Amino acid sequence: MIEHYLREYEVAAADGGATAPGWFRSLQADAIELFRASGFPGPKDEEWRFTPIAPLVRATFRPAGSATPVGLTDLEPFLFGRLDWPRLVLVDGRFSPELSQLPSIAGLAIANLASVVKSGDGDLASDLAEASGRTVTPFASLNAALGMDGTVLRLASDSVMEEPVHLVHVTTPGSDGTVTHPRLLVVIGERARAQVIESYVGLGSEGCYWTNVVCDVRLSRGAWVEHTRIQRESESAYHTGVTEIRQEADSHYRSFSFAIGGAIARHDLRSRLGGSGAEALLYGLYFGRGDQLVDNHTTIFHDQPDCRSWEVYKGILTDRAHGVFNGKIIVQPIAQKTDAKQTNRALLLSDTAKIDTKPQLEIFADDVKCTHGATVGNLDPLARFYLTSRGIPDRVAGELLTYAFAAEVLNEISAEPVRTVLDRLIHGRLASDRLEAHDAR
């Protein structure tokens, strides 16, 4: 309930108010007032009417305490076989220097948020103040009010990162009933090139906890970023996330969002093309089974002319899983020569799985090329018959066709180690679902 988190803020402010700098306390105070005014969203809120979050709202999660000890061997299954990649690790919401491997790369500055706040970095204060003022959901307001750690990454102009930086958020088995509010700030200088991977993982397979994350990505003129977001929390956990991208002229942002965990998992991704020639490519793949709810809300703001966006999201749902996709493209009057395409496809593998899909175009310019499309259905019976007529068992044929549906999006990941691990994860998920369905019969 809202009162629980208001009291939590008061306790945190009393405990940490003496050590936190004034500008940071001011940001938190403003954010909690926004949350107090809005409360949690309800079914009458248009942006949330397909997303029944009552189980999350009714629960009262406590702040995560001291992290359970975690070793590198516990983390290895989630590192894509690349222990040499630069990484920053948070365990139960707290920075782990022992598990992190902070790089020494020309032009790159990376640190955990709590240490940078403590250092009194003036540039950071300005960046965070601007980002925190754009709390687009009540959950983002709560993050700004209660979040104490996260990641700050800055890449200087004309710098190039040859390898991805991996930001790993780990929740341990002893974290039932807890909540973490990590915040990420990524600032990319002019003509710089970066790859960033976010991972959200649960070491306990059945833990019920809540991860509430906010990520701000800023691309200066001519910058290039590939951003991969992987959510594989416990299927009993809750995950709410907001990603805000702001792009200047001639910048390129490429996103891949993968979601397979969470009892309720909601991700709001908002990309603002704020300079002529900017480009945003958004790809998404999500899975749901049992009673999982997976919700993706995307908004692309075409604020300037001659910008391009391309969006493809696919979902695979079985059992009683519920998917939600709401994709908006907003073209301002000045944004002539806009080229925007949006595609959402959902595969329903059971009679009880469902999806609510709502593509939206709001176009206020006349010289544009904008399209959207949504398809929902089961596997193609003709393709399935073709495979079975050549001796492939029906259940294997279904798995092959489902994998092919997913692979079209998965292949958009340029980092081969990530693509390989997710490919293996998808095969394992499809095989597991097939065996469970066979046992149920």
pLDDT tens, position by position, 113-133? 988 888 766 666 667 666 655
Measured distance CA(57)–CA(329) in Å, rounded: 29
Report pLDDT for 438: 47
The separation between CA 397 and the C-alpha centre of its own chain, rounded to angstroms, equals 31
pLDDT tens, position by position, 37-77? 999 998 888 899 899 899 999 999 999 877 678 899 999 99
Helix and strand element counts for the chain (H, E): 10, 21
Rg (CA), the chain: 21
Report pLDDT for 122: 63
Q: Where are the alpha helices (DSSP H) in 289-373?
A: none
The residues pairing with 238 across neighbouring beta strands, listed in sequence order, are 210, 264
| Domain locations in the chain as residue ranges | 2-273, 379-441
Which residue positions in the chain have pLDDT lower than 50? 438-441
How far the first Cα of the chain sits from its last, in Å, is 41
Per-residue DSSP letter, 183 = E
Measured distance CA(349)–CA(57) in Å, rounded: 30
Q: CA dihedral defined by 379, 385, 390, 392, rounded to 10 degrees? A: 40
Q: Rounded to the nearest 5 degrees, what angle is found at the Cα of 31, between the Cα atoms of 29 and 32?
A: 70
Q: DSSP labels for 189-229?
A: -TT-EEEEEEEEEESSTT---EEEEEEEEEE-TT-EEEEEE
Q: pTM for the full model?
A: 0.94
Per-residue DSSP letter, 46 = G
Q: Are strands 94-95 and 87-91 parallel, antiparallel or unpaired?
A: antiparallel
Q: Cβ atoms within 10 A of the Cβ of 276, count?
A: 16
Q: Rounded to the nearest 5 degrees, what angle is found at the Cα of 89, between the Cα atoms of 412 and 187?
A: 60
Measured distance CA(167)–CA(170) in Å, rounded: 10
Report pLDDT for 128: 67
The separation between CA 429 and the C-alpha centre of its own chain, rounded to angstroms, equals 20
Shortest CA distance to 46 belongs to which of 354, 345, 342, 358?
Answer: 358
